[in-house]
Amino acid sequence: MDYRELWTDPDFLTMVIEYVDVHADKYGVLTFDSAFQDPLKLAAEAHKVAGSAGMYGFPDMGDSARALEISIRENGSCEEAKPLFEDLKARIAQAAEELAAFRAGVEG
């Protein structure tokens, strides 16, 4: 199921907006160096995103978060995790843009 179909429900859309806003705010200012100070915490955060992003209509964000989590837990390598972290940040920014475009179409 494409959960984006549910974005037309105002209550669900409110939850999607909150979800994206929280992650966009958090990851928008978070740098890899600060996040990787505690790799296990970063892996736990990535795990949460991996488990929830698809429900809100962002499966690519979830896949990206899952790759970051696995990389940290299996390798613990800063070199491997950094591009995955940057990819997750990009996916979150993309989700915010897609949601804004959807809202502009609905509200405009």
Q: pTM for this structure?
A: 0.91
Query: What CA–CA distance (Å, rounded) separates 98 from 13?
Result: 13
Integer-rounded Cα Rg, in Å, for the chain is 14
Query: What CA–CA distance (Å, rounded) separates 24 from 61?
Result: 12
Token pair belonging to 104: 């502009």
Question: Could you count the other beta carbons within 10 Å of the beta carbon of residue 30?
Answer: 15
pLDDT digits (tens, 9 = 90+) for 11-30: 999 999 999 999 999 999 99
What is the pLDDT averaged over residues 73-96? 93
Confidence of residue 76 (pLDDT cuts 50, 70, 90): confident
The whole-number pLDDT of residue 10 equals 93
Token pair belonging to 19: 């979800």
The whole-number pLDDT of residue 107 equals 66
